[in-house]
Amino acid sequence: MNVDETAPQKGTVTQRAIERIKAMIAEGRLEPGQRLPTERDLAVQLGISRSSMREAIRALTVLGVLEARHGSGIYVTQLEAGDLLETFGVVADLSRGPRLVELLEVRRILESTATALAAARITPDQLAEVEKHLTAMNATDDPEEILAHDLAFHREIAAAAGNETMAAILEGLSSRTFRARVWRGYQEEGAFARTRREHAAIHRALVAHDPEAARAAAAAHVGEVEEWLRAQLGG
Amino acid sequence: MNVDETAPQKGTVTQRAIERIKAMIAEGRLEPGQRLPTERDLAVQLGISRSSMREAIRALTVLGVLEARHGSGIYVTQLEAGDLLETFGVVADLSRGPRLVELLEVRRILESTATALAAARITPDQLAEVEKHLTAMNATDDPEEILAHDLAFHREIAAAAGNETMAAILEGLSSRTFRARVWRGYQEEGAFARTRREHAAIHRALVAHDPEAARAAAAAHVGEVEEWLRAQLGG
DNA sequence: GCGACTGTATTGGTCGGACCACCTCGCTGG
DNA sequence: CCAGCGAGGTGGTCCGACCAATACAGTCGC
């Protein structure tokens, strides 16, 4: 009896609106950077209220697919790795216990590969940037500053690997709050010296353009934290 | 003049609400599985309207952090890898061009490692499950069915690796629509036979509990698709 | 003529209330 | 004791109004 071609009626209207917009982007009807119709128009087009449409837009906003500019309009993001993988940080921030170890394991795998790729491809300019953060990291005692340069150190290396997607994932796995949470206890145990040695080893491998050495050094670096955390949880 | 300690006034009220709830979970004030106050109560607690609160809840729902049950209440999910990494599929679905190659590269790295781990750890029961899908995959000509068993084949292997987080990421990287999009063209070029050989090689390595062979076979398997896609884009 | 300014229309952000759909659970009656 | 029912609670949807930031055109002053 219901021959209405526009109403399959599955799930909430908001959920359907999210899928519709996602589909429009996937099919290429909405290009990156393009501006969408206004919330009011979109609501009319999809036959739903503005409230529901706003929920759908908000959902796609937090996913990094859309971007709302107050007073201007709603735009499709560039759909680059960084935009879409920002939510990866949420995973890292909310994970606890055994899952933290699993996340570090994933990071070890990706970071070691990224560092190996970087060793083969890194340019002098990129290497100079890496060295800048390495030097700054060793020149201060402020934990906050150390952490910041530590993050930048690895970020530059990931960028030099030439895979933006991988770099974005690693960025999420190394989110500020995540590292701060895990590293606080780790560094308190006097791991500064060891960390410096490991960073120096990674740097040497990059300078020598030696992928295998870089892979091993990076794996050992992350593995150290991984093992420490495993021991913490194991009791 | 404004000495109100609860209003730093940065960003939209909805965004602040999202952060507040995330913080409550991160600090352990909200446990996995626990039920939240009602939307109306939460809105009052945070001093915002129900509309804004609903947007915040919707945002956390699509991120896999919260789950809303109509007529019952809002609950914190188990915060397991699967819940939180479901959004990873969105990334895969909306990525195009060079980013697809990058995603496959990430998958190759993780899948080869996961397969190597599985080779060392897989149990007879898990191996039987893998074989079931391998057999079913080779016994039909229906592309849909082949794809389904192909996905299940790799899913079982990822599960046997013992790292749920890695399995969840691989699940996202192999989402149905993603594989369907990429594999359609690939399989049209008569790659069935090669795919079968590669699956057989992976299976042999699992049976032999040979991690290195498993790693190589899996890397080659994903690498084949990766190279094909690279050629498609480059030429 | 040209740039800075202003004011107005547009657009996202917030709010409050109303009603609907679904679930839960206690009450009722057999 | 249990099946069935009904009221209350809760999320889902809709509406209309107003606020706040932006964009743009028209205006003013130099």
Distance A49 CA to C26 C1' (A): 36
Does the pLDDT at position B185 exceed 90? no
Beta-carbon separation of B58 and A55 below 8 A: yes
**Whole-number pLDDT of residue B187:** 73
What's the burial of B84, exposed, middle or buried (CB within 10 Å: 0-12/13-18/19+)?
buried
Q: What is the DSSP string of B129-192?
A: HHHHHHHHHHT---HHHHHHHHHHHHHHHHHHTT-HHHHHHHHHHT-HHHHHHHHHHHHHTT-H
Half-sphere exposure of B47 (CA within 13 A, CB side): 9
Residues in B whose CB is inside 8 Å of some CB of A read: 14, 18, 22, 25-26, 51, 54-55, 58-59, 61-63, 65, 79-81, 84-85, 87-88, 90-91, 93-96, 99, 102-103, 105-106, 109-110, 113, 163-166, 169, 177
Q: Long-range contacts of range A208-211, CB-CB < 8 Å, 24 or more positions apart?
A: A208/A119, A209/A119, A209/A120, A209/A122, A210/A119, A211/A116, A211/A117, A211/A119, A211/A120
Sign of CA dihedral A84, A90, A93, A95: negative
* A204 vs A194: CA distance, rounded Å: 15
Low-confidence ranges of chain A (pLDDT < 50): 1-7
Q: Quick one: which of A47, A50, A52 has its CA closest to A4?
A: A47
Instruction: Identify the residue whose tokens are 């083969």.
Output: A120
* A204 vs B52: CA distance, rounded Å: 52
Does the pLDDT at position B111 exceed 60? yes
B55 vs A contacts (CB less than 8 Å)? 54-55, 58
* B106 vs A25: CA distance, rounded Å: 23
DSSP classification of residue B35: B
Asked whether residue B36's C-beta has any atom of DNA/RNA strand D within 7 A, the reply is: yes
Query: Which range, of A16-25, B2-11, B135-144, B192-201, averages the lowest pLDDT?
Result: B2-11
* B185 vs B147: CA distance, rounded Å: 13
pLDDT in tens, B8-37: 568 899 999 999 999 999 999 999 999 999
Residues with CB under 7 A from strand C: A 36, 38-40, 50-51, 54, 57, 68-74; B 12-15, 47-52, 55, 69-72
Instruction: State the amino acid at position B12 in one-letter form.
Output: T
Does the pLDDT at position B141 exceed 90? no
Beta-carbon separation of A164 and B61 below 8 A: no
Beta-carbon separation of A79 and B62 below 8 A: no
B73 closest-nt by C1' vs CA = D10
Q: Quick one: which of A155, A170, A222 has its CA closest to A195?
A: A222
**Whole-number pLDDT of residue B222:** 95
Give the closest of A54, A61, A99 to B165, CB-based. A99
Cβ neighbours of residue A195 under 8 Å, at least 6 residues apart?
A150, A187, A221
Instruction: State the amino acid at position B56 in one-letter form.
Output: A
Half-sphere exposure of A28 (CA within 13 A, CB side): 2
Asked whether residue A51's C-beta has any atom of DNA/RNA strand D within 7 A, the reply is: yes
Q: Where are the beta strands (DSSP E) in B27-96?
A: 66-69, 73-76
Asked whether residue B70's C-beta has any atom of DNA/RNA strand D within 7 A, the reply is: yes
The CB density around residue B233, as the number of other CB atoms within 10 Å, is: 11
Distance A72 CA to C8 C1' (A): 15
Q: Please tell me whether residue A72 adopts helix, strand or coil conformation.
A: coil
Q: How confident is the model at residue B192 (pLDDT cuts 50, 70, 90)?
A: confident
**Whole-number pLDDT of residue B5:** 43
Distance B52 CA to D13 C1' (A): 15
| Domain annotation for chain B: domains and CATH numbers | 13-79 (1.10.10.10), 84-234 (1.20.120.530)
**Whole-number pLDDT of residue B144:** 85
Q: Are A187 and A179 contacting, i.e. CB atoms less than 8 angstroms apart?
A: no
pLDDT in tens, A172-208: 998 877 777 877 777 777 788 899 999 999 999 999 9
DSSP classification of residue B28: T
**Whole-number pLDDT of residue B235:** 67
Q: How confident is the model at residue B178 (pLDDT cuts 50, 70, 90)?
A: confident
Work out the average pLDDT over B107-113. 98
- Rounded to the nearest integer, the mean pLDDT of chain B is 92
Nucleotides of D under 7 A from a protein CB: 8-17, 20-23
* A79 vs B94: CA distance, rounded Å: 7
Report residue B52 CA to chain centroid gap: 29
- The crossing angle, in degrees rounded to 10, of helices A98-121 and A192-207 is 30
B103 vs A contacts (CB less than 8 Å)? 165
pLDDT in tens, B58-97: 999 999 999 999 999 999 999 999 999 999 899 899 998 8
**Whole-number pLDDT of residue B6:** 45
The pair of three-digit structure tokens given for residue A173, joined into one six-digit string: 């796995």
B95 vs A contacts (CB less than 8 Å)? 79, 84, 165
